[in-house]
Structure 1
């Protein structure tokens, strides 16, 4: 049975197109425009170039994840691998949401009425991706017979 026959089309598109594009874009932003990243998360804060190594490391991790999202899922016939990658990405999503909450709290900007476009974009993209990723690992949208199928 092919991946297409088992994995609902929404998930296939989200995990093999949307996720890698968003992740690669984040990597580009971390590597090429660190001041924009700083402004996005901590308004009116000058970037410290001595800390660029952290942005570069994050960009590398994001590119690695983007590669796995774009290539691994297209090259495996095992639904178990799809699940493992989504569980790992859920861990990343959870820490991303935690750090967003922590940062907004420290800035006194937890009230969504104080959020800027950058805040809304980051929170919404992460929450939406977390929800569909969680739905996938819970088997929502799968036919009962396909939830634990080994794709061949």
Structure 2
């Protein structure tokens, strides 16, 4: 018997179909209309207008994430589709953290006492949902499945 969306606990539904699409759209908005603020949340590097194309393309990616989470996850009834999408987003999180580590350096990246308030927010929005993604993939909090007995 395969699992369906009905088996997914509320916290995962809320995170993936409400909170994250809103956060992704907010990121897209910042990339297009306030890229210097977006950049400042990740690093102290100064924004250069001739790099706007990268921010516009990143905004497109965030809009795609928002669509996948807000629309595709609502129209599928298959847990395996949810897990595939969640795994893909988790991979994106890992690359995002790799980028942060690259710009911050190991010592700062691993030492929260050196983080700016913006980095605390950024990492909280990565680690918290990232942990929930891992929990969903492991089916933590899911109802127990009945195992069919062999005759």
TM-score interval, normalised by the smaller of the two chains: 0.7 to 0.9
1:115 aligns with 2:115: yes
| CA deviation after TM superposition for structure 1 residue 40, in Å | 2.1
- Where does residue 33 of structure 1 map in the other structure? 34
* Structure 1 runs not aligned, ≥5 long: 147-152
- Where does residue 24 of structure 1 map in the other structure? 25
Q: Map of 1:3-14 to 2, 5 A cutoff? A: 3=5, 5-14=6-15
- So what's the TM-score if we normalise by structure 2? 0.87
| CA deviation after TM superposition for structure 1 residue 78, in Å | 1.1
| CA deviation after TM superposition for structure 1 residue 86, in Å | 0.3
CA deviation string 1:120-152 (max 9, x = no partner): 000111000110001001111112318xxxxxx
* Structure 2 runs not aligned, ≥5 long: 147-151
CA deviation string 1:21-62 (max 9, x = no partner): 11111111111111112222222x331111110000000011
CA distance in 2, matches of 1:11, 1:77: 14
CA distance in 2, matches of 1:31, 1:11: 29
| CA deviation after TM superposition for structure 1 residue 2, in Å | 6.5
| Number of aligned residues | 143
Compute the RMSD of aligned alpha carbons: 1.8
Q: Structure with the greater relative contact order (CA < 8 A, sep ≥ 6): 1 or 2?
A: 1
